[in-house]
Structure 1
Amino acid sequence: MSEDQVTNTAASSSQGRPAKKGAKPGFFARIALFVRQVIGELKKVVAPTRQELVNYTLVVLVFVIIMMVIVTVLDLAFGSAIGWIFGGSGTTGQ
């Protein structure tokens, strides 16, 4: 199904006057069509259950903690490597 067919199908299923054949809809008509399509898509959204929401939250928190550990270990490793390579004692101004 092409993009024109999808738009025309959505436009024909929406309420209001039918568009003239070959005529491009006006600015406000396109905005109204867009808003109707957005509302139609939002009606299709299924909200997660409480248990799903808790599970998703825990998965995200565990992932973030794991990434924090990885970044911390890499930061310490690279910091130590840079200190070893350049022989920095941590003091400046000598």
Structure 2
Amino acid sequence: MAEDQEREEGQERPSRPSTAAARRERRGAARPAARKDADGKAEPRSKARPDNAAKSDSADRKGRPTPTRDRKDDRGSIFARTSRFLREVVSELRKVIWPTRKQLIGYTAVVLVFVTFMVALVAGLDVGLGKGVFWLFG
């Protein structure tokens, strides 16, 4: 009933994109088109800059330099590293675009048909070549 009232008012709930391509397009639309300088001005990514200008601005735009590689990291205990790894795995799995049940069934059917065809092809070639060898050599 509440959905009908929303539709009558002309406000629709934002729906989740149903295809992977639509989700990628939606994510791409949310990204900024240009980088911003220290001044706050947008600079197109394709704009070519002279090498000397890039070097003089790099310290201003980027901030402090990257720490040296010789610095020793405090990696923490094995339990802290393991829990961090598992948190990162879960966060990466949230980014995965999972197929719908319909897509999964379709993909599974395609794979099973292809594997069945390939097994039949290899078995037929094996039997045919085996009979040919026995006929030739005896």
Q: What TM-score, normalized to structure 1?
A: 0.59
Unaligned runs of 5+ in 2: 1-71
Structure with greater helix percent: 1
Question: What are structure 1's unaligned runs of at least 5 residues?
Answer: 1-20, 88-94
Within the alignment, does 1:78 sit opposite 2:135 as a pair? no
Alignment match of 1:67 (pick from 118, 122, 126): 118
Number of residue-to-residue matches in the alignment: 67
> C-alpha offsets along residues 3-58 of structure 1, whole Å, 9 cap, x if unaligned?
xxxxxxxxxxxxxxxxxx73232211111111111111122223211221122022
* C-alpha separation in 2, matches of 1:45 and 1:72: 38
Which structure's residues are more often strand, by fraction?
2
**Counterpart Cα distance in 1 of 2:118 and 2:79:** 47
Aligned position for 2:95: 44
Q: 2:73 & 2:124 partners in 1: Cα distance? A: 63
Q: Percent identity?
A: 46
* Aligned AA (2:78): F
SS in 1 for 2:114: helix
The structure-2 alpha-carbon separation of the partners of 1:24 and 1:49, relative to structure 1 and needing over 3 Å to count, comes to closer
| TM-aligned CA deviation for residue 81 of structure 1 | 2.4
What TM-score, normalized to structure 2?
Answer: 0.43
Whichever residue aligns with residue 137 of structure 2, its letter is F
Question: Distance in 2 between the 1:56 and 1:83 partners?
Answer: 41
CA–CA distance in 1 between the matches of 2:117 and 2:82?
44
Q: Which consecutive segments of 4 or more residues in structure 1 shift more than 6 A?
A: none
* Aligned-residue CA RMSD (Å): 1.8
1:85 maps to amino acid: L
| 1:27 matches 2:78 | yes
- Name the CA distance, whole Å, in 2 between partners of 1:22 and 1:83: 68
